[in-house]
């Protein structure tokens, strides 16, 4: 993710929305050391100063550029020390349930930072990541991604009858985060939801109609953000000689009408909805549309069933190195016919991030509870999301003004 970047890029000029990458890669290793080597196995710290360098709960974001960080080579050496000690211990015997939990916690934490490394490169305008080898199965993935189903109507709605629904993860999941616990009944009224994520072509009409300047389209909070940002279109759009373009890492490409709009925040998504006479789905509506099989009366782990994501059903794992046409991956449709509810882009919902009934924080208490209330929920994963991490019940959360992440949205009828 960062091997091709220069030392200067690893400590680039500070930005309010991203971390210095030299700090962040060390933080990933520190997290593994803290929860596996030290918390689970009781080992002493590998280096005495690491908590003062990498504890994200104790170190304010704005100060991370000013820390006495290790040099690049020393950071990589520290990372290797952590990795090798964990691998050596796990190779000696089968892991207990507790050991497996903390190892998986650290692996999934790294997966989330891998996604952050990718949007950091986009934010700074650096080239896309370069991998030494293409992951297994990605040749078929790339071919599938380039074959949109032209018969699939962009923006058509799926009709969901609603009813009683179990929102959240069940206790037979091998690993879940505390904010997914546990499945609980909710009543969902009948609703209609778009079968596809909103496209760049659909969003362009909002931009060209002056939607960013129409006060009636925006909430009070959203309008305050828009004025402060002086936003008139998505952050990585510009008008080129031949029409609208978007920045794809370090180069500008012509806007692709059938690809999902991406890098729009929740305020922008809600403003579009008001302009179009639509709304964002609630979290329960989103999960019901993604997972509930009306005929069998059961909930699926993924939109297509219970089997892990193959490369032909979802745009994940950096396979296409970009978003895909919203009509691609028909094999991944949900029971109600919604497409790409896993992968491609994260999708904003109308629901604020909060606990489920009976919430109890897991040992990593800083993961969920501090962010309840002022963050908004996103669902579904993006093309930069690890397939081993994502499922229908997985809850992502960001402040509603964040548009650096790989986020888009789909809409519901009023």
pLDDT one-digit tens code per residue, 188-239: 999 999 999 999 999 999 999 999 999 999 999 999 999 999 999 999 999 9
Residues paired with residue 243 on neighbouring β-strands, in sequence order: 240
Burial 103-120 (b: 16+ CB within 10 A, else e): bbbbbbbbbebbbbbbbb
Is the model's pLDDT at 142 over the cut of 60? Answer: no
CB-based contacts of 125-131 (< 8 A; 24+ apart in sequence): 125/247, 125/249, 125/250, 126/5, 126/9, 126/249, 126/250, 127/4, 127/249, 127/250, 128/248, 128/249, 128/250, 128/321, 129/1, 129/4, 129/318, 129/321, 130/3, 130/4, 131/318
Nearest CA-CA partner of 333 in 365, 366, 304: 304
pLDDT of residue 320: 86
Is the model's pLDDT at 164 over the cut of 70? Answer: yes
Q: How confident is the model at residue 354 (pLDDT cuts 50, 70, 90)?
A: very high
How far from each other are the two terminal CA atoms of the chain, in whole angstroms? 42
Instruction: For 397-411, write each residue's pLDDT tens digit.
Output: 999 999 999 999 999
pLDDT of residue 99: 96
Compute the half-sphere exposure of residue 167: CA atoms within 13 Å on the CB side of its CA. Answer: 21
The mean predicted confidence, pLDDT, of the chain is 95
* C-beta of residue 11 within 8 angstroms of C-beta of residue 65: yes
Nearest CA-CA partner of 10 in 57, 53, 59, 73: 73
Q: How confident is the model at residue 49 (pLDDT cuts 50, 70, 90)?
A: very high
* C-beta of residue 166 within 8 angstroms of C-beta of residue 183: yes
**Residue 358 CB burial class (10 angstroms; 0-12, 13-18, ≥19):** exposed
Dihedral, CA of residue 87, residue 308, residue 312 and residue 405, to nearest 10: -70
Nearest CA-CA partner of 380 in 321, 297, 309: 309
* C-beta of residue 37 within 8 angstroms of C-beta of residue 79: no
pLDDT of residue 16: 87
Distance, in Å, from the CA atom of 51 to the CA atom of 56, rounded to the nearest integer, reads 9
- Edge-to-edge, what's the strand order for the sheet holding 278-279? 157-160, 191-194, 412-413, 278-279
CATH number at 138-198+275-413:
3.90.1580.10
pLDDT of residue 319: 84
* C-beta of residue 102 within 8 angstroms of C-beta of residue 35: yes
Q: Is the dihedral of CA 396, 402, 406, 407 positive or negative?
A: positive
Nearest CA-CA partner of 281 in 351, 375, 373: 351
Instruction: For 302-329, write each residue's pLDDT tens digit.
Output: 999 999 988 889 999 998 899 999 999 9
Is the model's pLDDT at 135 over the cut of 60? Answer: no
Percent of the chain beyond pLDDT 70? 97
Instruction: Give CATH 3.90.1580.10 domain extents, the chain.
Output: 138-198+275-413
Q: Is the dihedral of CA 203, 205, 208, 209 positive or negative?
A: negative
Distance, in Å, from the CA atom of 210 to the CA atom of 400, rounded to the nearest integer, reads 21
Is the model's pLDDT at 136 over the cut of 70? Answer: no
Task: Give the global pTM.
Answer: 0.96
């Amino acid at each position: 993710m960062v091997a091709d970047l220069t030392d200067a890029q690893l400590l680039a000029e500070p930005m309010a929305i991203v971390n210095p990458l030299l700090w962040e890669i060390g933080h990933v290793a520190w997290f593994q050391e803290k929860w596996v080597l030290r918390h689970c196995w009781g080992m002493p710290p590998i280096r005495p100063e690491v908590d003062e360098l990498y504890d994200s709960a104790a170190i304010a974001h704005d100060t991370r550029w000013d820390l006495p960080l290790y040099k690049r080579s020393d950071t990589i050496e520290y990372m290797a020390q952590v990795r090798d000690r964990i691998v050596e211990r796990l190779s000696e015997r089968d892991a207990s349930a507790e050991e497996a939990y903390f190892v998986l916690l650290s692996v999934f934490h790294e997966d989330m930072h891998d996604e952050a490394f990718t949007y950091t490169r986009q934010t700074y305008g650096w080239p896309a990541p370069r991998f030494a080898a293409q992951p297994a199965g990605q040749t078929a993935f790339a071919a599938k991604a380039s074959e949109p189903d032209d018969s699939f109507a962009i923006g058509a709605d799926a009709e969901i009858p609603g009813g009683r629904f179990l929102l959240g993860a069940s206790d037979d999941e091998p690993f879940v985060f505390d904010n997914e616990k546990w499945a609980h009944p909710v009543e969902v009224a009948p609703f209609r939801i778009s079968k596809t994520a909103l496209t760049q072509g659909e969003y362009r009409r909002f931009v060209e109609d002056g939607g960013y300047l129409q006060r009636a389209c925006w909430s009070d909070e959203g309008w305050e953000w828009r004025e402060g940002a002086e936003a008139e279109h998505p952050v990585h759009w510009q008008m080129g000689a031949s029409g609208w373009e978007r920045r794809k890492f370090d180069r500008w490409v012509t806007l692709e009408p059938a690809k999902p709009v991406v890098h729009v925040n929740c305020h922008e998504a809600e403003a579009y909805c008001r302009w179009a006479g639509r709304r964002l789905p609630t979290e329960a509506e989103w999960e019901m549309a993604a997972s509930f099989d009306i005929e069998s009366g059961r909930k699926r782990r993924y939109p297509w069933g219970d089997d892990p994501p193959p490369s032909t059903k979802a745009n994940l794992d950096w396979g296409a190195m970009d978003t895909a046409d919203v009509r691609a991956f028909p094999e991944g449709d949900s029971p109600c016919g919604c497409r790409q509810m896993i992968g491609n882009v994260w999708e904003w919902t109308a629901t604020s991030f909060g606990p489920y009934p009976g919430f109890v924080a897991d040992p990593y208490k800083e993961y969920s509870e501090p962010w309840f209330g002022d963050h908004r929920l996103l669902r579904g994963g993006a093309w930069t999301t690890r397939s081993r991490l994502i499922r229908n019940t997985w809850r992502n959360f960001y402040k509603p003004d964040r548009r650096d992440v790989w986020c888009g949205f789909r809409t519901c009828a009023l």
